[in-house]
């Protein structure tokens, strides 16, 4: 009887965590570059009341399966799903969306972060920075890393799909300030969220470097950069509301297990009267 009560408690804990993740997804439905979370469950250990038995040597009896009672459920994983979010056109030339693989690289001091949020700006020194002032990392034409991309005084500028920051200088000559660097990961779900639409590399993310440096856009497996647009959240509200209903009913069902077990225990206590 007590086993069923503790199984109900484990189920309630799991569904509460699932509701927390669903709530975070819904809260970030309009967050630029946000990647939704997902919770998976797995069963806990089982109590074996009778082990498996092989068939007898003389063939008089066949094998017998084990008898086990499960002891509840637990969280198996909380994953970040890095599918493509829909693209929103902004017509701002410093808004970038990545179509395909890759993440922008931004740096603050010695700290390097990765993001799919492509809303960038020019600071007082004409460097490309994100909303927190972190410098957008770039590449030279030879593939060497640049600590920042500076856009000198110009008549006009544009961003190519390969990440080239093109501009026309004050003399009317076309120039290239650099290329926007992209980072690629074999397992982007292994990145660690740090808030502010930023991720940190981890031991399980699998950072892929090209000759020791970051990657050019629109080459190999890397996606292309679309200027004048932003990648929005990949949260599907219909899916999230469905998951919320499932979580709510699952939580209620587990509370009913505890209530029913308590009623049966009460009946056992009443036998003494």
- Flag whether pLDDT at 272 surpasses 80: no
Burial of 126 per CB tally in 10 Å (0-12, 13-18, 19+): middle
Q: Does residue 61 or residue 103 have the better pLDDT?
A: 103
User: Do 11 and 208 contact (CB within 8 A), yes or no?
Assistant: no
User: Do 137 and 107 contact (CB within 8 A), yes or no?
Assistant: yes
Residue with the two structure tokens 């799903």: 81
Give 117-138 pLDDT, tens digit per residue. Answer: 999 999 999 999 999 999 999 9
- Flag whether pLDDT at 1 surpasses 80: no
Which sign does the torsion angle of CA 144, 149, 154, 159 carry?
positive
Give 145-171 pLDDT, tens digit per residue. Answer: 999 999 999 999 999 999 999 999 999
Collapsing DSSP states into helix, strand and coil, what is residue 5? helix
Mean pLDDT of 237-263: 95
- Flag whether pLDDT at 273 surpasses 70: no
Mean pLDDT of 111-117: 97
> If you average pLDDT over every residue of the chain, what do you get?
94
- Flag whether pLDDT at 269 surpasses 90: no
Q: Does residue 176 or residue 271 have the better pLDDT?
A: 176
């Amino acid at each position: 009887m007590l086993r069923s009560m503790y199984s109900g408690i484990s189920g309630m804990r799991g569904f509460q965590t699932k509701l927390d993740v669903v709530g975070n997804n819904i809260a970030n439905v309009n967050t630029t570059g946000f990647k939704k979370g997902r919770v998976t469950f797995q069963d806990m250990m089982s109590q074996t009341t009778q082990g498996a038995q092989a068939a007898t040597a003389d063939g008089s009896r066949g094998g017998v399966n084990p008898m086990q009672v499960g002891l509840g459920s637990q969280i198996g994983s909380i994953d970040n799903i890095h599918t493509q979010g829909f693209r929103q056109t902004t017509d701002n030339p410093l808004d970038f969306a990545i179509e395909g693989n890759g993440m922008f690289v931004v740096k603050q001091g010695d700290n390097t972060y990765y993001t799919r949020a492509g809303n960038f700006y020019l600071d007082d020194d004409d460097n490309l920075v994100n909303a927190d002032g972190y410098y957008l990392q770039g590449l030279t034409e030879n593939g060497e890393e640049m600590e920042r991309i500076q856009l000198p005084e110009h008549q006009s500028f544009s961003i190519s799909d390969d990440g080239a920051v093109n501009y026309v200088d004050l003399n009317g000559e076309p120039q290239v300030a650099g290329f926007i660097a992209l980072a690629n990961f074999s397992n982007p779900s292994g990145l660690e969220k740090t808030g502010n639409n930023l991720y940190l590399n981890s031991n399980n993310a699998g950072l892929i470097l090209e000759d020791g440096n970051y990657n050019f856009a629109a080459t190999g497996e890397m996606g292309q950069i679309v200027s004048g647009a932003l990648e929005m959240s990949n949260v599907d509200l219909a899916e999230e509301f469905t998951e919320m209903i499932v979580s709510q009913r699952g939580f209620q069902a587990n509370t009913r297990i505890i209530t029913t077990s308590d009623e049966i225990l009460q009946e056992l206590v009443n036998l003494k009267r």
